[in-house]
Amino acid sequence: MSTPSKTPSDKTNSRRHHQSTDPSMSTRSASEFRTRFEAYNRLQSAAVAFGEKLPIPEIVAIGGQSDGKSSLLEALLGFRFNIREVEMGTRRPLILQMVHEPGALEPRCRFQEEDSEEYGSPIVLSSAIADIIKSRTEALLKRTHCAVSSKPIVMRAEYAHCPNLTIIDTPGFVLKAKKGEPENTPDEILSMVKTLASPPHRILLFLQQSSVEWCSSLWLDAVREIDPTFRRTIIVVSKFDNRLKEFSDRWEVDRYLSASGYLGENTRPFFVALPKDKSTVSNEEFRRQISQVDLEVLHHLREGVKGGFDEEKFRSYIGFACLRDYLESELQKRYKEAAPATLALLEQRCNEVTTELARLESKIQATSDVAHLRRSAMLHASFICNHVGALIDGAADPAPEQWGKTTSEEQSESGIGSWPGITASIKPPNARLRLYGGAAFERVMHEFRCATYSVECPQVSREKVANILLAHAGRGGGRGVAEAAAEIARAAAQSWLAPLLDTACDRLAFVLGNLFDLAVERNHHRDSGYGTKHGEMDRYVGFSAALRHSYSRFIKDLAKQCKQLVQQHLDSVTSPYSQVCYENDFLGTYGSDANSVYRFNQASAASFCLELSDGGTALRDDTTKDQENIRPEKNAQQTTPGKVAEAREALRESQMTVPETPSPDQPSDGNYVGVKKELGNIIEVGARKRHPRIVDNSRNMDHLRVQKAGSLLFMSGDNNSRSGSAYSEICSLAAQHFARIREVLIERSVTSTLNSGFLTPCRDRLVVALGLELFGVNDEKFMDMFVAPGAIDILQNEQQSLQKRQKILHSCLNEFKTVARTL
């Protein structure tokens, strides 16, 4: 597509120029061009009003602020309106839609309303045009708090003496901001002009006054950045009459007109001079002066220069009339070439607007249909609950690599961190794997076991032991050393195990809380896979937020209930009426049987832990060495990890026969050796009264032992070593009782309670709980989740805007269909 800046031959260009200005152009051709021109003008107005980005062929005038753009626009319009006085070129673009209307003997100018495709009333006085441009510019800049704005002003001018031409006049380039303007105003203008001129469907009309040499042109480099080869640039040398007096010989004129060495071999700029008389004259006189200046320039080149100039090569580029005719013919040609593509694009946009309007109307209808919303919302909630259950039972989608979490990530993101009271690093199997759902739940359960089995019975002070024993001795009680050790173990279990139970509930609640996002993602994936539309409920932000909130509250309530249940179990096994602390004593006679039962419990619990991460063997070896991180293995005894030797010593002591009157040299034994008890009683856990038979058989012996141990604790002199032996015996018994309480609590009570307290409700009661909270309300409260205050009005306003936009685009489409038929 050729322009004067890339004409392959002067003869071809001259012939094209004469064709465009041929007065014998048929009436039919003129009518067709008028139809195309009007269609593009309407489309341009619609694009400005609705923000459409359409590749409409347009001419964009750019140049310095004093390079004559305003004078050129007035000459093209055929009348003056003092556009220079408002300096609108420095603030806001102006789209001039010039319509050649033979019947309009006086200019009829109308401005397009802001944010609308409608035009206002015609402007009677030409001087009022400048005032409207100034007021609109100032109002917009004040509202947007900017020095310049890219939002254009659209003016339509119908006149018998103007061509069918549309030009976008841009703010003029400036080197320095005016007084009162921000310092970055020149940069903002340059950036805005580049944005306006960058689209490839726009023709650049670059003006530069003749007094500026090509080699020193500042703005020519800016144009080169936009259009490096000047392929779509028309260069105009303004104020050409100021340069004429410098030419004396033909070669000087021809060299200047060719602009060789700066614009390229095929670049041919236009040379234009306009009247300098700024006095108020009639429109007819103004047009006569323009023609007179053209004649004077040609006369000077022919008569005032020795040898004249190369008219065959340069005549079609000299004078305002040549430029005006070329712009009109070039735009006409671009319109004709772009019509098919514009028609196709309009059809696409019309379809898009129709689809968007249908979606909006469906949304408005759905918003007002409460029954439909209830059905859709219930279905969506049930799908989410089903996905939660599937994730708990075991699922591998969505991708665990993306959605799963390692143990350290769970600790960090939950804000819980390490286990309370545990200084050692707890490293459960599969800690490095990214897990979620039921797998992550089981890993936390095993981590909880590792944490609890790493807790040792805390060291008890002599003062505490003395307070317990002396109080018993003072009132003649017969609870004995074993009862004192059991009381110490129960207090330690309450103090150290209760925080671990709460932390386990919080960690498990965090794992289950994360399942909501996974369930939503899983639902999206299934919807896209099966082509369903259940995901449409996600567009209702209020309902999605309410569903998420209800789910979170359900999980928090489960965590609260589980904390109460496990605390009840802890209170039960640490109750004074519980026989847990004496089960080892009853099993003393059946030592091998008791150990086998314990080992069976340990082995069955440990069978649930499988190390699947890389380096699992090494990790297992490390955790075996660090016994704080694992529960006792099959061959381990019932004792606190790290206390193996002490446990063996305690076991040997439990198998010894205690004399009725213990010697100060021999530690008192808290085990009831020789007392027969049925093996079935060892599994009884909970608050119940101890059997009188046990108390009766041991009352006298315990009374003697309390008195003996109490005296041993406070002996002085030579008996100090013996007091240490009695104190160690009580601590050892307390450690054994603590380990037994922990084992019974974790293996018999807590594990099953947490599973039934968390997982079973999520499978069986989640959908009912969410349904009652979200849908068991009246219609007004239910609709609050879907319709915000004023939302219906916003949707209806958007609908009206889309309907108006659809109407305009369909009108433009019909016009372009008519244009296409004439091509």
The model's pLDDT over 209-250, given as tens digits with 9 standing for 90+, comes to 888 887 878 888 888 888 888 888 999 999 998 888 888 899
552 in Cβ contact with 560 (< 8 Å): no
Q: Mean pLDDT across the stretch 790-814?
A: 77
* The pLDDT value given to residue 799: 80
- 463-489: per-residue pLDDT in tens? 888 887 777 655 554 456 777 788 888
- 551-592: per-residue pLDDT in tens? 999 999 999 999 999 999 999 989 888 776 665 544 443 333
The rounded distance, in Å, linking the Cα atoms of 288 and 283 is 9
Q: How confident is the model at residue 610 (pLDDT cuts 50, 70, 90)?
A: low
Residue 692 has pLDDT above 50, yes or no: no
Residue 548 has pLDDT above 90, yes or no: yes
On the CB side of 519, how many CA atoms lie within 13 Å of its CA?
26
Q: How confident is the model at residue 613 (pLDDT cuts 50, 70, 90)?
A: low
The string of DSSP letters for 629-689 reads: GS---TT--SS-TT-HHHHHHHHHHHTSPPPSS--TTS----S-TT----GGGGG--SS-P
The rounded distance, in Å, linking the Cα atoms of 57 and 54 is 9
- 192-214: per-residue pLDDT in tens? 889 888 888 889 999 998 888 87
Listed residue (274, 203, 207) closest to 237, CA to CA? 207
**DSSP E strands, 160-277:** 165-169, 202-209, 233-238, 270-271
75 in Cβ contact with 321 (< 8 Å): no
Between 25 and 313, the more confident residue is 313
Residue with tokens 């093209």: 76
CA 811 vs. chain centroid, Å, equals 39
Residue with tokens 């040792």: 456
Between 1 and 48, the more confident residue is 48
Residue 656 has pLDDT above 70, yes or no: no
CA 91 vs. chain centroid, Å, equals 36
Q: What percent of the chain shows pLDDT beyond 90?
A: 20
* Whole-structure pTM value: 0.49
Q: How confident is the model at residue 513 (pLDDT cuts 50, 70, 90)?
A: very high
Residue 443 has pLDDT above 90, yes or no: yes
Residue 632 has pLDDT above 60, yes or no: no
Q: What is the 3-state secondary structure (H, E, C) of 151-163?
A: CCEEEEEEECCCC
Most confidently predicted of 263-267, 385-389, 489-493, 716-720: 385-389
* The pLDDT value given to residue 668: 41
Structure letter (DSSP) for residue 172: P
- 773-790: per-residue pLDDT in tens? 998 888 878 887 876 655
* The pLDDT value given to residue 510: 95
* The pLDDT value given to residue 358: 86
Q: Beta strand pairing status for 202-209 and 58-63? A: parallel
* The pLDDT value given to residue 480: 67
Residue with tokens 């150290």: 496
Q: Which domains does the chain have, with CATH numbers?
A: 55-318 (3.40.50.300), 371-580+727-787 (1.20.120)
- 376-410: per-residue pLDDT in tens? 889 999 999 999 999 999 888 889 999 999 999 99
Token representation of residue 32: 């067709």
Residue 457 has pLDDT above 80, yes or no: yes
CA 72 vs. chain centroid, Å, equals 50
The rounded distance, in Å, linking the Cα atoms of 69 and 172 is 8
CA 39 vs. chain centroid, Å, equals 42
What is the overall mean pLDDT for the chain?
75
The rounded distance, in Å, linking the Cα atoms of 447 and 458 is 21
* The pLDDT value given to residue 527: 61
Residue 416 has pLDDT above 70, yes or no: yes
Residue with tokens 């260009």: 13
- Amino acid 768 reads V
Secondary structure class of 778 (helix, strand, coil): coil
* The pLDDT value given to residue 347: 86
Secondary structure class of 735 (helix, strand, coil): helix
